[in-house]
Each structure stands twice: as structure tokens, then as C-alpha cells.
Structure 1
């Protein structure tokens, strides 16, 4: 109990240290497509890795559409947060402010997500997906012309000028691409076709080129730098999200894409055959950690880990441990034990988050930030 009490005090001190200082916000003028309005720039942001958002908050023109176009909730989260992460290379959070996309309207995006018009159902002149091919069966038709483009996500980045006005200074666009094409056969059974990665990449870049041309024809976007990124979704049933695999910056006034840059990001499930084959050392660390947990706590249910890799190097590891508890003392003892295991099994350059859960909800949280000697531990009351 004494150790747990110390950890609880540590968590309170950390929370106090991280509490933002109340300062006066900064008032600016925000010009939109329709009007000029007074807006507020918050003085405090969560960290140098986050953008400050102009207030009042302006919902994006396609707000909510992503829920009907992207099936996996994990893909939705990563599509949005990952786009912000990639944007930081071009639009520094210290100089730019965030706003949801205001230029690509919902009806427009829906039309772009359709198939190119050729007389078939759900086809439009503006469609960026290929028209249905000819064939003797639904299998042949669908697998020779899968739907590649699933969603288009837009973020805007504003900058303040000398007249205390914030104006559009950059746009980021993510193209979410299917890795699996779902369709029904003649007998009505659901079928799926795994799209070859080469086809996904080729068609993603083709679609991106066309989107840049269209955006350059819109009012307000003729001269603004546009960052385009390509995201590949995971299958609907996946327990890890998809990832970005390419990006490019279309410079101010440019109307075409000159080159692409590879984005070496990937989410990996532990335990899994893929993790063992591709990242054997990390899979072994997770296995040893899991064995130590299982050895000392009989009510243990399982350990599930998700690793985030950049250029094949593990950066962040999120671990979820569901367990059955019978007392608060057991929660405290288990959390203390886990904290020691985390410090023992995982090197200091990896950020690790551990969520301990029971049927009653979240029980404790352990966070070991990369490079930090002491973890943050919180036990929910």
C-alpha cells in the first residue's frame, strides 16, 4: 500500500506540473469564404506536437462523412491523427493554426468517391474510382475494377499576418485507399478481393494528381501549398489501424506532382505471426513480458499489444491487459508489478502505455515516455 500511495502522489504532482497557466487569449480576424469574423487563438497548446485550433471551432464541410465511407474505427482515428502528424513537417505547429477542412464540400467529395461515369449504377462524371469493367461474372467484374478510393480528408492550416488576420497558408489532404474490395456474388454471398499493393499505389497516385488539378481550380486554393498523403486501410475486422505510405508537397502555385516521398509507418499486432516474422526481437520482448505477467497473476486473461513503427523502428507500444480483480489492493499490487516489468523489459527509447482493464472499466494506467527515467502511474478510484 505504501508504494501505491507514493505512485498516487507522483501522479498528482505530474498532473499539477502539467496544468496549463491561465493566460489571456489572443483575438484575431478570420476571413472565410463567406465573411470576416472575430476569432480567438488559445495561448496554450498541449505540446509542441499539437496544433492550436482557432476558436470558435468551425466544423469541416465533410464532417461526419468519414463514418459512412471508412468501415474500421481504428482507421478513422489514424487517418485523422496521422494526417496532423505528417503535416508538421511542412506546417510547423509553432507557426500555423489548425482548422478543419473548409474547401471540399460534402456533395463534391461524395461525387469524387463514386465510379467514373460509364452508364452504370452509382457512377458520376466526377467519379475517381474506375467504372465497372465488363465480364461474365460479378467476380470477374469486381476483381478487375475494385474501388480504390474510400475517403478524402482535408485539413486547413492558418497563419497570422501583420494585420492580426489569420489566413489560409496550407492545406493537407489524405486519400484513404481500400486494401480490400467487398462485393456480393450472384448468389448474394459476401465476397472480398485483396487488392495488390502495386495497384493501390498506382491508382492512389493517379487519383492524387487529378485531385490537385481540381483543387487548383477552386477559389482560395490556386496558390496555397498542398500536402497530399496516401493512406491504406486495413480490412474491416482488423484490430490494428492502417497506415500512411506516401506523401508529397505541391508547392505554392504548382498544379502537378513532381515526386513522391515514402512514408515508412506501420502498426503491428502483438502477438501475431507477422510480428514474429518481421520484428522478431520486439516480439520476443513482448512474449517475455507476457510470460512474466502470466506467471505471477492467476486471474490474468491476456496481453494485447499494438506497436507503431517508423522506418522499421518501434516508436510506441500500447498494451491492453484485461484482468479479473477482487479488491483494490489487488489492483494496486498488480499495477506495481507491471510497472517494474515495463522498466525491465522495454528499452528507454520506446514509449510504452499500459491500460489495465476489468469488467468494471479502466483500473490503472502506466505511461513510460521515451527517454524518461520515471514512469507515470495512475490508479483509478
Structure 2
């Protein structure tokens, strides 16, 4: 095998994939902060891919001079509490960044995690609407005022019947913000635009009267209608926030998968509000889909890829005695396969078995799978990654990583 590379750990592999060369090559720039102030940041002159955004890193002076730190989201952790399926969390974050490239080119813009919408703001917006109530002193507290910002339908859940829940589901799970920074004429970095993703439910689960959980399917057309109305309110509110009054706002709608799904949901629509405008115009359809292999859907609608995976499964099963099955996920855009990911869990008893199995899988990839899409094979044992095989589209030979 020509391309067999060993790495020390999965952490090292992730570092290679997500960072790029280190040491030197940094440029100090002045960056606009969310409150309208200014701070010094660092931009690396290196980038592991021309198709990806460079990231701004805050630069600490004084005692920690020379130290750079990643700037986490102002609403860090909210997404984990609001979206039930971990696959959806990864998909909405990566997908929003990819869809933003058509609006905010990586050639011109830098990426920054969202700093304009903090946790308190998001929790109030994604809650249910409720009329603010005065306390015993005749006052309306900030917590009560926040209830009136809720974008999901009004409902007293403590007293609601099953029918009430079904008629008034929670549509909106989360609002993900990403900031795109640009250099001005003075060489300073300022906010150039914002992208948001509305994570919308495809299914609402609830309990009432000590019974349940019940489920209510949410049709896509009904979900999109709600997303459109919510977007109008969100843009109006964002325009009132310092720093957001005069930048483009790119809005996407992400339809979540069901909670127990083994493939994530997908983006279904997008639009861009011009700088200075508060008007949400027409939406463009996004034709994306994540397909499970094997499945009835895959067999019926994607027969070619189903046959490739079936042939690969047969070969692997005949080669290794502890093989129990594999799960594949195909990511399609406009009905064209863009990436195929296959997870193979196997019980290994030693490194020699890992190497032998990986070599065999490599050979079968070369023989079976065409190369017009990206391919990733993850080989695991006892929930630990043992090997990864990747091949970019239009590339003949895969890259192989043996871990540990």
C-alpha cells in the first residue's frame, strides 16, 4: 500500500485536519469587538485549505504577550441543550459555514464564532411566547419581559391537553450565529456580515398529564412558513443591536432529523437580507439530503451507491470473522453524491489485525468505489477509532491513517 501513515492519536489527526502549520507567519490586526470597541487579534498567514476561512485569534499582551486564544461563541453551549441529535449539531455548524461561502467569500472574509447574540438572548428567542405578568409590586421583571420575545407558539404547557400540544408544537430549536469579518480601508478588521441558521424541528415530542412521550410530525411546508415569519422578527431585532444595523444578514433554514436518526437532517432554504435592510425577501431552495445505507430509501432511490456498499460489505464480511455490519451516510446536493462516509465497527485483538483489515479495506475501495465524490471510511473497535481511510473526489489513491 503506497499511502499508509501512522499517527500517535486521534487528537493528533484532528489537529492536522483543523489547524494547519504552526509557528510564525502571524500578522497582528485591529479587530472590532461586539460592543463597538477594539482589540488586537492575530491572523495566521498559513491556511490548510484555500476553500476554508482563516480564523481570527485574540492576542493577549502584557504578562501573556505572544499568547493567542480561540474566541468561543457568546452563546457557547446553547446548541447542545437545544438540539437533541448530536449529528444535527455537527451538520448545522459545518453546513452554515459552507453555505456562507456563497455570500461571504473565504478570499475576502475571516471567520469568527457568533459574538452578537448571547445565551440569554437566544434562550428568550427560542422559548414560547408568553404575555409578561406583573409581580406583587406591580413591576414587570426582565425575566417576564423576555417571555414576550419567545418565537415559538404561545402555550401554557402545565395546563395544555394533548390536542393543544399537537396544534401548537415548538418549531424552533436553536438559532446559530456565525460572524464574517472583513478588512476595511485602514487595514482594520470589522464585522462584514452575519450568517444565522434556524434549526427547525421535523418532529415535536411532548408529554402531558403524566402520559407520553407523544410525537407530532411537522410537515416541511408548515415548518418553512413558521421559519419565514420568525425570520422577519429576528432580522428586525438584530437590526436594533449595535453593530448589526448595516451589515448583510444571511439566513438559512435547517430541518432537523428525528431524535434517534443515525443520519442528520439538512438545510432546506436560504435568503440574504441586504445591508441596512430589514426586509426578508424570497427564499432560495436548498436541495440537500443525507441518506442512510443500507435502507429502503437508499435501495429505491440510490441503487448505484447501494450496490457499491453491498459489494463492499460482502467482501469485508468474508475477510474478517468479527465483522458485524457497517453504516453508511451519503451526502447529496441536487441529487448528486458529494460525500460518502462509512463506519465499520469491528472487535480487534491486536494491531496486526487492524493493519491487515485496513489494507484489505483499502484494496476493496480501489476496486469498488468510483472517485467522483469524497469518501471516508472510519474503522473502530470498542468505540475507539483504529484507522481512517479518506479519498477526495477525482483522486485515484486514498490516504490511510493507522491510529495507535
**How high is the TM-score relative to the length of structure 1?**
0.91
TM-fit CA distance, 1:34: 4.9
CA–CA distance in structure 2, aligned partners of residues 89 and 7 of structure 1: 34
Alignment partner, residue 161 of structure 1: 184
Alignment partner, residue 264 of structure 1: 287
Alignment partner, residue 49 of structure 1: 51
Structure 2 residues without counterparts, runs of 5 or longer: 9-15, 59-69, 134-143
- Summarize the Cα distance change of 1:264–1:336 in structure 2 as closer, same or farther, 3 Å threshold: same
Alignment partner, residue 91 of structure 1: 104
Higher mean C-alpha displacement, 99-108 vs 358-367: 358-367
Contact 1:11 1:377 in 2 (8 A): no
- Summarize the Cα distance change of 1:301–1:176 in structure 2 as closer, same or farther, 3 Å threshold: same
CA–CA distance in structure 1, aligned partners of residues 130 and 348 of structure 2: 58
Higher mean C-alpha displacement, 319-328 vs 153-162: 319-328
- Summarize the Cα distance change of 1:223–1:343 in structure 2 as closer, same or farther, 3 Å threshold: same
**Correspondence for 2:328 among 305, 314, 336:** 305
Contact 1:10 1:376 in 2 (8 A): no
1:254 maps onto 2:277 in alignment: yes
Contact 2:5 2:402 in 1 (8 A): no
Deviations 1:312-369 (A, max 9, x none): 1111011111112233332222111111111222111111111111127222211111
Deviations 1:262-304 (A, max 9, x none): 1111111111122222222212221121112112222211111
1:326 maps onto 2:349 in alignment: yes
Query: Aligned runs of 1:28-177 on 2, under 5 Å?
Result: 28-32=29-33, 33-56=35-58, 57-118=70-131, 124-132=147-155, 138-177=161-200
Contact 2:125 2:149 in 1 (8 A): yes
Q: Which secondary structure does the structure 1 equivalent of 2:4 belong to?
A: helix
CA–CA distance in structure 1, aligned partners of residues 253 and 288 of structure 2: 12
Q: Which secondary structure does the structure 2 equivalent of 1:174 belong to?
A: strand
Contact 2:88 2:265 in 1 (8 A): yes
**How high is the TM-score relative to the length of structure 2?**
0.86
Contact 1:11 1:376 in 2 (8 A): no
TM-fit CA distance, 1:9: 5.8
Aligned length: 373
Q: Which secondary structure does the structure 2 equivalent of 1:340 belong to?
A: helix
- Provide the alpha-carbon RMSD of the alignment: 2.5
Q: Which secondary structure does the structure 1 equivalent of 2:98 belong to?
A: helix
Query: Aligned runs of 1:232-247 on 2, under 5 Å?
Result: 232-247=255-270
Q: Which secondary structure does the structure 1 equivalent of 2:57 belong to?
A: coil
CA–CA distance in structure 2, aligned partners of residues 9 and 237 of structure 1: 35
- Summarize the Cα distance change of 1:48–1:19 in structure 2 as closer, same or farther, 3 Å threshold: closer
1:278 maps onto 2:301 in alignment: yes
Q: Which secondary structure does the structure 2 equivalent of 1:115 belong to?
A: coil
Q: Which secondary structure does the structure 2 equivalent of 1:94 belong to?
A: coil
CA–CA distance in structure 2, aligned partners of residues 205 and 253 of structure 1: 19
